[in-house]
Structure 1
Amino acid sequence: MKLCAIAVTLFLFALGALPAADARETTLDQIMTETGARLQWDPMREVGALWRGNTRISFRPGADSALVNASEQIAVRVSRGEDGGLSFDHDGAERIIARLRPQAAPEQRRVAAIFIDPGHGGRDPGTIGRHRIDGELFEIQEKQIVLDVSHRLARLLETAFPDRQVVMSRSDDRFLTLEQRTALANAIPLEHNETVLFVSIHANASLNSRARGVEVWYLTPEFRRRDLIDPSRVGVSDPGVLTILNTMREEEFTIESVLLARNILAGLYSEVGAHSPNRGIKQEAWYVVREARMPSVLVELGFVTNQEEALNLADDAYLQRLAHGIYNGIVNFVAGFEN
């Protein structure tokens, strides 16, 4: 993975450093040098983004526009020369440079709300762990574990972020459809520089009773959600342009979801790593992470089918440590996202 990242980085330097074919065009390297912006590039989809401070400008070769912070469309023509170098038309490059230069009072990106989704509930118990301990039957249900941890997490976040919304999809033992959960999160009102974080909390199970550990999932990058861009908000009606802008927004959500997943997993490992192994971050198109139009992750707290972990998941002190691990991950992500 590191070798791949290095190869992509070297490719990008070569890409930006190549000269423009037209004197009225501005190379990618010239823009980066003048603004101090850094580049992210997806070679599979040929979508790039220039970052500086709180400003992110997404672009794609062949397109006639770029997207600023997922809310403003600017006219710019991006072309690839015969030698492979990327160039921007002069006027478009000036628009990009103007937005990437330091502003007197830049508008800060902000996490306005954190949406906590305790999985299952009501008639849906989720996974169930049953173990014979000292001749007695011990049973534990996923819906109870995740609701408990979610309440603990919400209290921690409310204390740390009194100026933000902390919303739970359910606060008691009730059943909600998957559609209801994501609809609640997607309906939270936001300003153009604000976002919501979606954190779904679950417990795991396996036919292998030795399986144990914590893991965090995010949406498979190849999955494409629709309607991430509001046409009225960016002033665009052309379906082709909207498709490109939607893809760019998807890329932003993917990057942010991966960073959120990594932070939460690191937080969990610091709290319970001595008792529960780190199973890593993983990809899957779970319904709640694919239908939430925001950075979204699904957290697995451990395996109820493993006797040792099931006993830990029934222990108040251990549940508090799980909540604190997720909390630390979210706090670290928010600090990086906003600064």
Structure 2
Amino acid sequence: MYNKKILTILLLFILVINVVGPVQVSHAAALDSVIGTLSASSVPSTDGGSNVFDKLFSLLFDKILGPILNIFGGGKATTTSPGNPVKVTPLPPKGGNSGIADSGVLRGKIIVVDPGHGGSNPGAVANDTREADNNLAVSLKLRDKLINAGAKVVMTRETDRTVAPEGSSLGQELAARVDIAEANNADMFISVHSNSNPDPSIYGTMTFFPDGKSSKLALEVQDNIIRETGAVDKGTSSATFYVLRNTTMPSILVEMGFVSNSSEARKLQDDSYRNKIAQGIFNGMVKYFNN
């Protein structure tokens, strides 16, 4: 019986040699391991010799077939060790929310933010929405973003009031806003408004700039508001508004949306949407200063 087992082992050994023969020399060490282990296993065991077969098949698959299969891409990856670590390259971080890193370009800039209307002049009123309230809410959010970026922000108003003394003419009111920008030697003037139209089906966002200057600023701000809000893009245009034609620094007037349109009026009262508008204006300013 024992002789038959030895014969069986020899036949299996011949089979292993025939399999390993064509394998490249780099795996020849596996043969030495097989021969050594078979020699050590030739002593009869108490379990009737099954240990020999266990070791033989273990060697066949772990020492021989494993490396062979790995040659052809079918085996497992080589196990790492402290002396042979795998180099892991971390993936770049995903983009954050919709903000744009200011890279410090706003630090020290003097920005005048002008919430249109206020006090006894509420601006356009429709669909239970007052323009002056929307203008102030977005302007305050923009102020906070600019301050966080290191800018010096001057507000023409921070409450529901007129800028010029109550009872002043419209010309005096507008002149008071321009005077604040000029007195502070502002680097930029941003006037924030809401729009209105007799046709309630009209809606969208537009940005105005003084004729002959600030068109690049208007384009950057308009583009980024649309990116943030998804609003209908009504483009940019030059205009002769008092606060634009009388300021000497880059200046724009943003019409955020139409309070006369019921859907857009609801959006303009929504805190999340207001933040998106402020973020869009901020992003456009950063891109302008980065260019």
User: Shorter-normalised TM-score: what interval?
Assistant: 0.5 to 0.7
**Which TM-score applies when normalising by structure 1?**
0.51
Q: Which residues in structure 2 correspond to 1:243-258 (within 5 Å)?
A: 254=213, 257-258=214-215
Match of 1:168 in 2: 155
TM-superposed CA distance for 1:283, in Å, is 1.3
Match of 2:210 in 1: 219
Residue 151 in 1 paired to residue 131 in 2?
Answer: no
Per-residue CA deviations over 1:110-149 (Å, capped at 9, x if unaligned) read 973111000000000000013xxxxxxxx00000000000
Q: Percent identity?
A: 36
Q: Output the CA distance in 2 between the equivalents of 1:144 and 1:271.
A: 21
Residue 205 in 1 paired to residue 193 in 2?
Answer: no
CA contact (8 A) 1:111 1:196 kept: no
Amino acid across the alignment from 1:155? D
Per-residue CA deviations over 1:36-62 (Å, capped at 9, x if unaligned) read xxxxxxxxxxxxxxxxxxxxxxxxxxx
- Residue in structure 2 matching 1:266, options 218, 223, 231: 223
Q: Output the CA distance in 2 between the equivalents of 1:111 and 1:155.
A: 15
Q: Point out the structure with the larger helix share.
A: 2
- Residue in structure 1 matching 2:272, options 296, 317, 326: 317
TM-superposed CA distance for 1:219, in Å, is 1.1
Match of 2:81 in 1: none
TM-superposed CA distance for 1:293, in Å, is 1.2
CA contact (8 A) 1:111 1:334 kept: no
- If you compute each CA radius of gyration, which structure gives the higher value, 1 or 2? 2
SS at match of 1:210: coil
Residue 180 in 1 paired to residue 176 in 2?
Answer: yes
Amino acid across the alignment from 1:122? G
Number of residue pairs matched by the alignment: 178
Q: Output the CA distance in 2 between the equivalents of 1:175 and 1:188.
A: 19
Q: Output the CA distance in 2 between the equivalents of 1:219 and 1:267.
A: 19
CA contact (8 A) 1:117 1:198 kept: yes
TM-superposed CA distance for 1:323, in Å, is 0.6
SS at match of 2:179: helix
Structure 1 unmatched ranges of 5 or more: 1-107, 131-138, 190-194, 222-253
Q: Point out the structure with the larger strand share.
A: 1
Per-residue CA deviations over 1:166-225 (Å, capped at 9, x if unaligned) read 111101111121010000000014xxxxx610110000000010110000001123xxxx
**Which TM-score applies when normalising by structure 2?**
0.59
Amino acid across the alignment from 1:179? A
Taking only aligned residues, the RMSD between alpha carbons, in angstroms, comes to 1.7
Residue 290 in 1 paired to residue 245 in 2?
Answer: yes
For residues 129 and 313 of structure 1, do their structure 2 counterparts lie closer, same or farther at Cα, with a shift above 3 Å needed? same
Per-residue CA deviations over 1:42-83 (Å, capped at 9, x if unaligned) read xxxxxxxxxxxxxxxxxxxxxxxxxxxxxxxxxxxxxxxxxx
SS at match of 1:217: strand
CA contact (8 A) 2:146 2:152 kept: no
Deviation beyond 2 Å, 4+ runs, structure 1:
none
Q: Output the CA distance in 1 between the equivalents of 2:223 and 2:262.
A: 24
Q: Output the CA distance in 1 between the equivalents of 2:110 and 2:202.
A: 34
- Residue in structure 1 matching 2:187, options 196, 219, 222: 196
Q: Output the CA distance in 2 between the equivalents of 1:265 and 1:210.
A: 21
Amino acid across the alignment from 2:216? L
